[in-house]
Amino acid sequence: MTTPVSLNLHYAEPFYGEHEWQQLQPAVSEAHRLLHEGTGAGSDFLGWMDLPVNDDQEERTRLENAAAHIRAHADVLLVIGIGGSSLGSKAVISALTHSFHAYLEDKDTPDIIFLGEHLGSDYTAELFDALADKRVYVNVISKSGTTTEPAIAFRFVKSWLEDTCGKEEAARRIYATTDREKGALKTLAHAEGYETFVVPDDVGGRYSVFSPVGLLPIAVAGISISDLLAGGAEARHAFAAEGLRHNPAYQYAAFRYLMYQKGKYIELLSTYEPKLTDFSEWWKQLYGESEGKDGKGLFPASVKFTTDLHSMGQYIQEGRRHLFETVLHIGTSTKEIKIPDMSGNEDGLNYLAGERLHDVNEKAYQGTLLAHTDGNVPNAIVGIERLDAYSLGALIYFFEKACALSGYLLGVNPFDQPGVESYKQNMFALLGKPGYEKQRAELEKRLD
């Protein structure tokens, strides 16, 4: 079957035996059954599996109308969210829009700025300096409305926007993506008159790219959400087979599990395309939050080549052999740029004159692939032919499907994140939140 996403394990095959691969088949089949029958851990959060095809047409129409309105009237869209509420849309937008959009004079879409991802004072204060004289719209994304970082950011933005353009106009410019019926943000949106979109009950944040969580900012950026969803739908069909032989998503999950069993505890996602830097951040959350529990799981890290070959390359080549690489490979570039000739040839590179920069980058990829495998670093290659909305939609679904199966192979719930609450509880206590007085005293003693 031809699939929109390819997997090449040729450079990883020396690191495991065929018998090991075959022995995994029963576990993969069982994980597939748990996933597709909805009988595994976290089965209340399997709505992501059908998001590309289960489109709410009424909400889709409202979403596209809202995106068109924002594109027509806004200079800036502020997207307020954290984790799964922002990483997916940021990944798609940075991958598919002009790398220097903010510097373009002639553009028909607003600049999109992400906020609520941290508690940095300088960054937040300086943002409002940059927004002076800008026509600003807001998409605040939170199922509960009480997550600390985005909730604080929204307080700042709401106050600034109301002071700048008045309460009624501010309400027209704010769009809330939140719970269908309940929660602090839903209550506020109803009281203030914000237009709202729904965070599905059965979809966790890190699997929510194909829901309004991701689709509204993506549509505002001028990216075809129809093409993105079509790619996801094609991947849903392509990666539905039970067995390893015909399912690259399951092959990738099985490969990762074999590496983990052999003591390769760090997975490096490497890319040779700077536009995929934010995609790597989305991938890290997807796998880190899904697998890292019960004392188990690979540590997901990312590197950007060739940049990091001049910083992390030495360690990857000759450091501890506890890592493997998954390489994101793009077959063709969308823009052609050729290396110019230089009279005098001072840098000695005239032998490359007339070559496409993409082709030079390709040779760097091939040379690194061989060097790293020679250095006993297993390499898997996940490829798409080109960087467009359809292919990226397929790639997103590929990683989501593989991640769900990986979690079940590990014996963990790939759809919860209980450990994330620990820092929150400590922070609430140290900030003096009512009801946390005892915990505060205990924590302050530990910090002395």
Strands of 195-198's sheet in order across: 111-115, 76-80, 136-141, 174-178, 195-198
> What are the phi and psi torsion angles at 365 (to 5°)?
-60, -45
> Residues near 46 by Cβ (< 8 Å), separated by ≥ 6?
35, 38, 202, 415
Q: Which of 296, 336, 424, 437 is catalytic?
A: 424
Please state, in angstroms and rounded to a whole number, the distance separating the CA atoms of residues 381 and 363. Answer: 15
Between the alpha carbon of residue 274 and those of residues 98, 99, 304, 308, 338, the distances in Å are: 12, 9, 7, 11, 18
> Residues near 136 by Cβ (< 8 Å), separated by ≥ 6?
74, 75, 76, 77, 78, 161, 164, 173
Contact 134, 75 (CB under 8 A): yes
424 noted as active-site residue? yes
Locus of tokens 């390489």 = 327
Q: Where does residue 292 fall: left (phi above 0), alpha (psi -120 to 50 degrees), or beta otherwise? A: beta
Q: What angle do CA 370, 311, 324 make, to 5 degrees?
A: 45
Q: Which of 117, 289, 325, 400 is catalytic?
A: 289
289 noted as active-site residue? yes
Locus of tokens 């740029």 = 337
CB atoms within 10 A of CB 421: 9
Give the residue numbers annotated as catalytic, written as ranges.
Answer: 289, 424
